[in-house]
Structure 1
């Protein structure tokens, strides 16, 4: 009788261990693929608020307006990060953003001759409070380094001034400062005229080690060594 009971307990222990193993593997998969929301789409001019190009009907009158002069970043702007993670063996994309962005731009002819923008990293939020806590603390140390800044070091030549609703592309070169470290970066950006200003969109590749940032790897979560800083800036007259 005692031997029979021991055998039953052994079977239950084995079954319990197997169940825990299955849940440990399947749980994250089910959460990531069926419960967790899809990450937000990349910032772009096409899905920006008010980006409908139907307002270009006045292009003959407003498309050739003088755009030279000083401009400033205003409401409707966003910036943040996009990075790939491995969460308990499952690949996910983490996205954090903020609307607390400031900046300025100076245009001469068809060129942006100077400009910069600054992101308040203390206000960046994702879909996870735990991730946000790690971002502000161990990862970015926003208490000591609360901002990230990009500054042009060469003019951006757009070649032409688009009509309202139309887009142009160009290459930007400048200095990106994150976590107290500054590096030279180059990337493609897109600009779009609006009825009373313009928008600028781009993403800056970032290798974390270049900025003294150690990619997190703890508690079943591992972050890739590279990511991007996305931005969508709305400009009005300064």
Structure 2
């Protein structure tokens, strides 16, 4: 009888541990393991200098250097294994150009190689490039300026200014009009700009994953930080 009682105690203990693991597992993951990613890159004035030369001319996107290295990607909120986390994906594979005439940005386009956008999770990235964005068919995303943007208010002393830009964002082959606040810095001979474009993913034919262990919010942002130099 004592042996049977001991056996039931062992079985009961195992069941209790399983219950605790099921109930407390997500809480432990959310509070002790899962962490928000660092925010998407944005313009930094670290080491900034007074502007040199005229802002008018043809500009090209260049790799830039930290903390203003060119990058683009996305920010989303998701529930992963019961944890609420903010995910940031980015890539440095960004190309583009801009035209400034009479102090106004009259034309500009930024192109991003979507397949090279990465997070800290390979499984997430596989879903992103495959089922979510289908990068085999839609390898790039673009943002194109549609209306002149007045840059005359941007400081020349190494501090930043903010301007509103109206353009077209194209994701997964779908183009939609957007407006974004762009932070702009003139530092030396460089022109640096960053912004976060709010998006509802289904507007672009993108279905946010909902796979049981992970659920992604229906909206997020498309982020960019571009360093430009005179062509």
**Alpha carbons of 1:38 and 1:210: their partners in 2 closer, same or farther (altered >3 Å)?**
closer
- 1:27 paired residue among 15, 25, 28: 25
Aligned to 2:140: 147
| Superimposed CA distance per residue, residues 161-217 of structure 1 (whole angstroms, 9 cap, x where no aligned partner) | 521412111101111110111111111111000111210010001101101111100
Query: Aligned pair in 2 of structure 1 residues 198, 164: CA closer, same or farther (>3 Å)?
Result: farther
Q: Could you tell me which residue of structure 1 aligns to residue 85 of structure 2?
A: 92
Alpha-carbon separation, structure 1, partners of 2:223 and 2:32: 26
Separation in 2 of the partners of 1:54 and 1:105?
21
The equivalent residue for 2:191 is 198
Alignment of 1:52 onto 2:20: no
Alignment of 1:159-174 (within 5 A): 159-174=152-167
Q: Which moved more, 1:139-148 or 1:163-172?
A: 163-172
Q: Distance in 2 between matches of 1:132 and 1:12?
A: 42
Does residue 1:228 correspond to 2:217, yes or no?
Answer: no
* Runs of 4+ more than 4 Å apart: 7-11
> Which of 184, 187, 212 pairs up with 2:177?
184
Superposed CA RMSD? 2.0
Please report the TM-score for the alignment, with normalisation by the length of structure 1: 0.87
Which residue does the alignment assign to 2:127? 134
**Pairs aligned (count):** 226
Residues 33-44 of structure 1: pairs in structure 2 closer than 5 A: 33-44=31-42
What is the TM-score of this pair, normalised by structure 2? Answer: 0.90
Give the C-alpha shift of residue 150 in structure 1: 0.6
Q: Are the equivalent residues in 1 in contact too, given 2:172–2:204 (CA < 8 A)?
A: yes
Deviation of 1:44 (Å): 1.6
